[in-house]
Amino acid sequence: QYDAGPYLPRHGGLGALRRAAAGCQGCPLFEHATQTVFGAGPAHARLLLVGEQPGDQEDRQGEPFVGPAGRLLHRALEEAGLGDEDTYVTNAVKHFKFTTAARGKRRIHKAPNLREMSACRPWLVAELRLVEPEVVVVLGATAGRALLGSSFKVGEQRGVLRPMPALGEDPSDSWPGQLLATVHPSSVLRSDDREAAFRGLVGDLSVAAAALA
């Protein structure tokens, strides 16, 4: 069974977590990815955003949300009045999963499966417990499933603040924060009506911004 659990340090903060994650072999995704892309941002950020997994650029640079989807996300955050200084960004899965096109070297993103998501979840849970943000925003279906369960659907549940779900079996294993789901920024890039999709993302993020105001 795939599991990052044994790679997690028993003590320490985000720095220790990040260093340990660099050596994670809890699932086979480490084999082809360039490096682990751990979360980034202030240790006690008020807002924490969860994406799916690093993309091509993130895999090369080792930082989350630095590629095209990341640039769009940062524009949307800015429009919603949310600055970088209070925002921690991370992903549900911390290695880039891809296929290579038959010809050429282009690496095409592949969605992580449930086994890979479950294997990687201990890193996300550890980040959440250390940062204890006031608001968590899950971006898209993968991040939503990681925190709200496999029946999560973005379309039905976006833009609404809800109490932070318990992270483990114990319902008291949580903190007094809120969670909001919205679409993944790459779905905005793929949308037929990008402008409307972008407005929708900004609208949802503005709900999070209001909760932090």
Residues that bind ligand URA (CB under 6 A): 51-55, 58, 64-65, 67, 69-70, 91, 186
Q: Which helix (H) or strand (E) holds 162?
A: strand 162-163
Q: Which residue is nearest to ligand URA (CB)?
A: 51
Structure tokens at 9: 């340090």
Tell me how far, at minimum, the Cβ of 7 lies from ligand URA, in Å. 20
- Which is closer to ligand URA, CB of 58 or CB of 204? 58
Within 10 A of 81 (CB to CB), how many other CB atoms are there? 14
- Which is closer to ligand URA, CB of 153 or CB of 175? 153
Tell me how far, at minimum, the Cβ of 169 lies from ligand URA, in Å. 27
CB 157 within 8 A of CB 144: yes
Tell me how far, at minimum, the Cβ of 97 lies from ligand URA, in Å. 11
Tell me how far, at minimum, the Cβ of 54 lies from ligand URA, in Å. 5
- Phi, psi (5° rounding) for residue 62? 80, 15
Tell me how far, at minimum, the Cβ of 57 lies from ligand URA, in Å. 8
- Which is closer to ligand URA, CB of 12 or CB of 41? 41
CB 190 within 8 A of CB 168: no
CB 48 within 8 A of CB 131: yes
- Which is closer to ligand URA, CB of 46 or CB of 95? 95
- Which is closer to ligand URA, CB of 96 or CB of 126? 96
The closest alpha carbon to 212, from 148, 134, 146, 114, belongs to 134
The closest alpha carbon to 182, from 134, 133, 138, 135, belongs to 138
3-state secondary structure of 150: coil
